[in-house]
Amino acid sequence: MSGEITMIGSVILALLLAGYLGQQYLPPPRPKVIGLDLGTTFCSVGVFHPGSGEVEVIADEEGRLSIPSAVSFTTTAVLVGHEAVNLADSNPQNTVYDAKRFIGKTFEPEVLEQESARYPFKVINNKGSAEFLLFTNHSFSVSPEFIGSRLLLKMRKMAERHLGVPIQKAVISVPAEFDERQRNYTIRAADLAGLEVLRVINEPTAAAMAYGLHKVDVLNVMVVDLGGGTLDVSLLNKQGGMFLTRAMAGNNKLGGQDFSQRLLQYTMERVRQEFGVAPTLKEDIHRLRQVVEAAKLNLTVQPSVTIKIPLHLYEDNGSESPDGTAPAPVVLEAVVTRKLFEQLNEDLFQKILTPIETVLAEGHLDKQDVDVIVLVGGSTRIPRIRKLISEYFGKEPNTSVDPDMAVVTGVAIQAGIMGGSWPLQVSAIEIPNRHLHKTNFS
Ligand SMILES: *[C@@H]1O[C@H](CO)[C@@H](O)[C@H](O)[C@H]1NC(C)=O
Ligand SMILES: *[C@@H]1O[C@H](CO)[C@@H](O)[C@H](O)[C@H]1NC(C)=O
Ligand SMILES: *[C@@H]1O[C@H](CO)[C@@H](O)[C@H](O)[C@H]1NC(C)=O
Ligand SMILES: *[C@@H]1O[C@H](CO)[C@@H](O)[C@H](O)[C@H]1NC(C)=O
């Protein structure tokens, strides 16, 4: 009898040992759940590696960590991401971007008409929902969730290629302000891309998780997300491992594009002063825009940049020169300092504080009570903006995570938790906030 027990005991022990050794010496399991950040202007996909305990943001074939949220339709193909952007100039009516602004939303017809006027592609009204009208060999329309699905499918394929396993499950982030319908349509987009969504998490919560705030003792987290076109500010409250969004506010017409636009206007004015005429040729303005954008990015790390652009200036606004040939190019050379860039944008930068004050007021919190400030979005790299925020709170914002990768990093951590590969089960649940409204200043 006791011999039998010993026998069984040693079998169990052997099994346990085999399991233990297996864990030690087998290659670590591959992630099966991906984390998706389906952004308005850029998308990224990440995974949590159980072996190393690290998040990896997956690059495309060319090593880029995010793809533009654009989809372009031609007579023969549907192009996604960078390939779509490359066609934006030659195929503007059929290159759809910003689809996230329309997903799962219902609109008054007049509002949709105004929206359509902002874009080179046509936005039409389908029983209160937006659709994009396209013209290739024939005319047809696609939904915002279809656009989303093409982006998600591209990211799924990037992940499958990189990991070498088929992927069917994902965690996806959405703006905190998304209502149930917008969340449902985002899930539908994933569904169309062959992905089952295990959880939808709020972008600010994901950003907080990227900083490991689900594991440490903090109470009040301010997330400031300043992207290309919008500012979103959220006040999160963490209670026993759960994140609650206490207040949110923002400005849906403030972002990096506006700062670039100020610099572009300045540069155009410089051209007018120096050469007597403003640039009117489409190609020139396009090139100016690109140079200004590059200069803006450089000014984050350098105190000044020199821009040098050849331009074809027509005396007579926009019309062809008499013999149809382009005039000889002139070259604009200008030094742009960071200080000048800041002066051109100071009033816009100040506007960032308005929604911050609103969420503090609505959350009944003093700014001193904010434990951690998390910055998200490329525009939060601008030194003047960081300074403005740190002076306002009297404390440094948390900046160790790349602000463009904070959301995808957090979503990938959540994907790791859902995939069961997290070493210890840290909860990161959100309390659904059905009646919370975002105050918008714009
Ligand atoms: C459009 O025309 C091209 C050839 O010009 C053809 O290859 C393609 O299949 C057509 N697409 C559709 C959707 O009809
Ligand atoms: C969202 O989807 C859930 C589950 O499919 C459904 O029960 C709910 O009614 C949907 N809500 C909206 C607003 O579409
Ligand atoms: C920005 O910096 C990069 C690399 O430092 C450089 O190649 C580029 O010419 C710079 N652009 C401008 C407009 O100064
Ligand atoms: C950033 O967050 C980490 C993790 O919570 C924390 O340890 C660190 O002190 C923070 N840094 C700043 C500057 O707030």
Measured CA angle at 259 (ends 257, 264), to 5 deg: 90
In this structure, is residue 201 part of a structural domain?
A: yes
The more confidently predicted of residues 321 and 241 is 241
Which whole number is the average pLDDT over 177-200? 97
> How many C-beta atoms lie closer than 10 Å to residue 37's C-beta?
27
User: Are residues 272 and 415 located together in one domain of the fold?
Assistant: no
Check if 75 has its Cβ closer than 6 Å to any atom of ligand 1.
yes
Amino acid at 225: D
Which one of the ligands is nearest to 181 CA? Answer: 2
Residues 101 and 211 in one domain: yes
Q: Ligand 2, residues 106, 129, 180: which to mutate, most atoms within 8 A of Cβ?
A: 180
pLDDT in tens, 257-305: 999 999 999 999 999 999 888 888 888 888 999 999 999 999 999 999 9
Q: What is the CATH number of the domain that holds 335?
A: 3.90.640.10
Flag whether pLDDT at 317 surpasses 50: no
Domain extent, residue 321, equals 257-347
Q: Is 179 in the pocket of ligand 2 (CB under 6 A)?
A: no
What one-character-per-residue DSSP string does 183-230 give? HHHHHHHHHHTT-EEEEEEEHHHHHHHHTTTTTS--SEEEEEEE-SS-
Q: In terms of domains, do 39 and 176 share one? A: yes
Is residue 275 domain-resident?
yes
Ligand 2 contact via 439 beta carbon (within 6 Å): no
**Cα(136) to centroid(ligand 1), Å:** 8
Assigned domain for 361 exists: no
Placement of tokens 């957090």 in the chain: 410
Q: Would you say residue 243 lies in a domain?
A: no
Q: What interhelical angle do 203-210 and 406-418 show, nearest 10? A: 90
- Residues 206 and 266 grouped into a single domain: no
Query: What band does 34 get if pLDDT is binned at 50, 70 and 90?
Result: very high
Q: How many domains does the chain have?
A: 2
As to burial, measured by CB atoms within 10 angstroms (0-12 exposed, 13-18 middle, 19+ buried), residue 156 is buried
The distance of Cα 66 from the centroid of its chain, to the nearest Å, equals 9
- Please tell me whether residues 202 and 128 are part of one structural domain: yes
CB 123 within 8 A of CB 131: yes
The verdict on 92 and 185 lying in the same domain is yes
Contact 241, 216 (CB under 8 A): no
- Is residue 210 assigned to a domain? yes
Would the CB of 170 count as within 6 Å of ligand 3?
Answer: no
pLDDT band at 424 (very low <50, low <70, confident <90, very high): very low
Domain C-terminal end among 308, 326, 347: 347
Catalytic residue ranges: 37, 100, 203, 225
Q: Is the pLDDT of residue 73 over 50?
A: yes
What pLDDT sits at residue 312?
84
Residue 28 counted as domain residue: no
pTM assigned to the model: 0.86
- Number of the ligand closest to the Cα of 372: 4
Q: How confident is the model at residue 29 (pLDDT cuts 50, 70, 90)?
A: confident
Does one domain contain both 176 and 314? no
- What pLDDT score was predicted for residue 286? 86
Distance, CA of 161 to CA of 35 (rounded, Å): 15
Is 42 part of a structural domain of the chain? yes
393-415 tens-digit pLDDT: 999 998 899 999 999 999 999 99
